[in-house]
Amino acid sequence: MKKLFAFIRKEFYHVFRDRRTLLILFGLPVVQIILFGFALNSEVKNISITVLDHAHDNHSEQIINKIRASSYFIFKPAVGAYSDIEEQFKEGNIKCALIFPANFGEDLSRSGKAEVQIIADGADPNTATILINYLNAIIAGYQQSLKSGAPPPYQIIPVVRQLYNETQNGSLNFIPGVIALIFMIVSTALTSVSVVREKELGTMEILLVSPFRPIMVLIAKTVPYLILSLINFIIILILSVYLLKVEIRGSLVLLFAESILFIITCLSLGLLVSNVTNSQQTAMLFSMMGMMLPTLLLTGFLFPLENMPWIFQAISHVIPSRYYFIIIKAVMLKGLGFSYIWKETLILAGMSVFLLAVALKNFKIRLS
């Protein structure tokens, strides 16, 4: 036991000696929270629009004013000819163009029918569909104001409630993802490097000839990173509650217990990576490049899992962060108890045991 303790202390020295890495470790969650919380926005705003107005009459100008008044659009100087629009698109200056034909107002007041054309930039299809909806709504609103009659009979009015998030706090969507990501980085990447580094620098020999048992080496390697991950977790929780005003609904004890379980899964994965690789470079590239994108994409954090081809849905079942993501959403944001997440917990526990066993089996006590 004393030996183990001394070894853990050695690992801590390694960690604390490297100030820059430590700074990055704690800076990472802070920066991510700030960026996701304040800079990145899935809402579409400030859409650059230009108008080609062949009509220049009362109606077209009123519609333009309505668009100008909406906060979603930013007006670029109007263009004079149809061919200018393409030029503007190609320079990346505008996202959409609105074209009024000549006689727009005349047609509208005389025959009650007129046409406008919207051209949207399909290079960003998401923005394109959303801006078309915005413009549709604005023009429809203008039309409604023209009629100024009674509202159409038979109206079903949806009253919308956002469950678990009545204040529409956008932060709720990304915090579970950020937490899972940080754990993957800190636990998996750092541990994977820690064993390989000893191999690369030659100090592994010394460990192997000592009477220290392999399981002890693995435990000692993981404890410091477990603690670092937990500190990071606390930082994220504090930032979420005080900076982003996210309410933690569930039990903190359960939240921590589940997080420790997930960290152990990540650490086991890291150990496995480090045991099967031979250089820090390979280990890092594997755990950063190889794991980062799958984690980002197949957790259900950025893109909904249900719409992916079945093969990805199948793969996502072996990605630990998927289960943790479900757990943390349930416990932290919905305030549900253990009875709702026992299945996910069991899977994570099973993964940890499996990964640790494989890692231990692959732990080579002889250097080739």
How many residues line the site for other proteins (CB under 8 A)? 112
Indicate the angle between helix axes 342-362 and 214-242, nearest 10 degrees. Answer: 140
Candidate residues 65, 70, 145, 162; the one interacting with other proteins per rule CB under 8 A: 162
Given a contact cutoff of 8 angstroms between Cβ atoms, the answer to whether 221 and 195 are in contact is yes
Task: Decide: is 157 part of the binding site for other proteins (CB under 8 A).
Answer: yes
Task: Decide: is 30 part of the binding site for other proteins (CB under 8 A).
Answer: no
Q: Which amino acid is present at 50?
A: T
Distance (Å, rounded) from C-alpha 222 to C-alpha 187? Answer: 8
Distance (Å, rounded) from C-alpha 346 to C-alpha 357? Answer: 17
Kindly tell me which of 7 and 134 has the beta carbon lying closer to other proteins: 134
Kindly tell me which of 83 and 168 has the beta carbon lying closer to other proteins: 168
Q: Which region among 111-119, 216-224, 240-248, 261-269 touches other proteins (by CB under 8 A)?
A: 111-119
Structure tokens at 333: 């944001």
Candidate residues 56, 213, 245, 334; the one interacting with other proteins per rule CB under 8 A: 334
Of residues 5-24, which lie at the interface with other proteins (CB under 8 A)? 18, 20-21, 24
Give the β-pairing of 73-75 and 47-53. parallel
Task: Decide: is 87 part of the binding site for other proteins (CB under 8 A).
Answer: yes
CB atoms within 10 A of CB 187: 27
Q: Which amino acid is present at 308?
A: M
Candidate residues 66, 173, 257, 360; the one interacting with other proteins per rule CB under 8 A: 173
Task: Decide: is 257 part of the binding site for other proteins (CB under 8 A).
Answer: no
Task: Decide: is 307 part of the binding site for other proteins (CB under 8 A).
Answer: yes
Task: Decide: is 143 part of the binding site for other proteins (CB under 8 A).
Answer: yes
Structure tokens at 109: 């007041």
Of residues 34-63, which lie at the interface with other proteins (CB under 8 A)? 35-36, 38-48
Task: Decide: is 306 part of the binding site for other proteins (CB under 8 A).
Answer: yes
Task: Decide: is 64 part of the binding site for other proteins (CB under 8 A).
Answer: no
Distance (Å, rounded) from C-alpha 157 to C-alpha 87? Answer: 43
Distance (Å, rounded) from C-alpha 338 to C-alpha 250? Answer: 10
DSSP for 245-307?
-----S-HHHHHHHHHHHHHHHHHHHHHHHHH--SHHHHHHIIIIIHHHHHHHHTSSSS-GGG
Structure tokens at 219: 């435990």
Q: How far is the CB of 289 from other proteins (least distance, A)?
A: 6
Candidate residues 71, 83, 148, 155; the one interacting with other proteins per rule CB under 8 A: 155
Exposed/middle/buried for 248, CB within 10 Å: 0-12, 13-18, 19+? middle
Kindly tell me which of 217 and 333 has the beta carbon lying closer to other proteins: 333
Of residues 274-293, which lie at the interface with other proteins (CB under 8 A)? 277-282, 284-286, 288-290, 293
Q: How far is the CB of 299 from other proteins (least distance, A)?
A: 11
Given a contact cutoff of 8 angstroms between Cβ atoms, the answer to whether 322 and 297 are in contact is no
Kindly tell me which of 108 and 239 has the beta carbon lying closer to other proteins: 108
Task: Decide: is 342 part of the binding site for other proteins (CB under 8 A).
Answer: no
Task: Decide: is 264 part of the binding site for other proteins (CB under 8 A).
Answer: no
Q: How far is the CB of 205 from other proteins (least distance, A)?
A: 16
Q: How far is the CB of 213 from other proteins (least distance, A)?
A: 26
Task: Decide: is 132 part of the binding site for other proteins (CB under 8 A).
Answer: yes
Candidate residues 206, 231, 241, 302; the one interacting with other proteins per rule CB under 8 A: 302
CB atoms within 10 A of CB 15: 16
Given a contact cutoff of 8 angstroms between Cβ atoms, the answer to whether 311 and 328 are in contact is no
Kindly tell me which of 124 and 212 has the beta carbon lying closer to other proteins: 124
Exposed/middle/buried for 153, CB within 10 Å: 0-12, 13-18, 19+? exposed
Kindly tell me which of 264 and 327 has the beta carbon lying closer to other proteins: 327
Kindly tell me which of 13 and 38 has the beta carbon lying closer to other proteins: 38
